Structure 1
Amino acid sequence: MTTVVGLIWKRRNGRVRLAADTAEIVRPTDVGTDAPFGERATLLQFSTEFCAYCPATRRVLGGLADHNDGVEHVDVDLTNSPELAQRFRVLQTPTTLLLDGRGAVRARIGGAPKRAELEASLADILNGTRHVAA
C-alpha cells in the first residue's frame, strides 16, 4: 500500500493542476508582501527555509518572469507563517500558484514544477486561453 501511495504522489508531484472555474482572487496583501503582482500573470511561489527544491524552483520561475513581459515572480516564505500555509492549502514546498492579471488562481503546482507544463500553462494565461479543471 505504501508503494502505491508513493507512486501516486510521485506522478502528481510537479504537475500543473488547473483551477476550478470559480477561481479565488489573490492580492499581494493576502500573502503579506509588498512585491507587485504582474499585469498579465504572477507566478506565486510558497517556500520555506528548509525546502530543498525551492531554490531551483525560484530560478525557473524567476527566469520565466524575466522572459515574459507583464509577468512577475513572487516568493513567499511560509517558515513563520503557518496561517498562510493553511489558508492556501499548502501541503508541501514549493507550491506555486499561477495567477492571471486579475490575481485569479488559474493553476496550482505542488512540488518542483515540470517546466514544459508550467510554460504551457503560463502561455495559456498570457494568450487569454481559459482552461479549467473538469
Structure 2
Amino acid sequence: MTGLAVVLGVLALATVLGLWRRRRDGRIRPVPGTTTVGVPADATGATPSSALAALGVPAGAVTLVQFSSAYCAPCRTTRRILTEIEDRTGGVRVVEIDVEQHLDVVRELDVWRTPTVLVVDATGRVVQRVSGVPGRDDLVRAIRPLLVGVPS
C-alpha cells in the first residue's frame, strides 16, 4: 500500500510540474526594473548590457536576441517566427547567439534554456524575455510600444 501511495504522489507532482512548465513556456515576461510596456520604471531600471553590445546588438533598434544551440529543435521554430517579425516589422532586428560559444554572456544574462529570446529596446536595455517558443502575435503586441519613435 505504501508503494502505491508513493507512485500516486510522484505522478501528482509530475503532473503539477508539467502544467506549471506548460503555462510558463513561451510566455513573455517583463524584466525587473521595467514596466509591462518595456519603458524603464524609473532611473534605477534595467541598464544597457555591454555584453550584448559586444555581440553586435545594434543601437537605435528594437532587437530580438535569440539564444539557441545547434541541437535545439524549438530554436528552429523560434528562428522562423523572429525572422518573420523582422521582415514584416520596421525597426526590429534579430540577432541569434549560440550559447555554446558565448557562455559568459549566457551566465551574465541568466539564460537557463534554449530557446530564450530577450527583447532589447532601442537604448540597449533588456526589457522583456521569453523562455521557450514565443507566440508570434504575442511578441508583436509586446514590442509594438517599443517601436514608437524608432526609425524603420
Normalising by the residue count of structure 2, what TM-score does the alignment of the two structures yield? Answer: 0.75
Tell me which residue corresponds to 2:46. Answer: 23
Cα deviation, 1:3-62, whole Å, max 9, x if unaligned, reads: 1111101110000001222223124xx1452x4526230001100111111111111111
Give 1:127 shift. Answer: 3.0
Give 1:71 shift. Answer: 1.4
Q: SS of 1:53's equivalent? A: helix
For residues 86 and 3 of structure 1, what CA distance do their matches in structure 2 show?
Answer: 30
Q: SS of 2:73's equivalent? A: coil
Cα distance change of structure 1 residues 36 and 4 upon mapping to structure 2, 3 Å threshold: closer
Instruction: Choose 1 or 2 for highest CA Rg.
Output: 2
Summarize the alignment of residues 1-134 of structure 1 with structure 2, pairs less than 5 Å apart. 1-21=13-33, 22-27=45-50, 30-31=51-52, 32-33=54-55, 35-37=56-58, 39-127=60-148
5+ residue gaps, structure 1, are 129-134
Q: Which has the higher helix share?
A: 2
For residues 82 and 59 of structure 2, what CA distance do their matches in structure 1 show?
Answer: 13
% identical aligned pairs: 34
Return the letter of the residue paired with 2:110.
R
Whether the 8 Å contact between 1:16 and 1:107 is mirrored in structure 2 is yes
4+ long deviations beyond 3 Å:
none
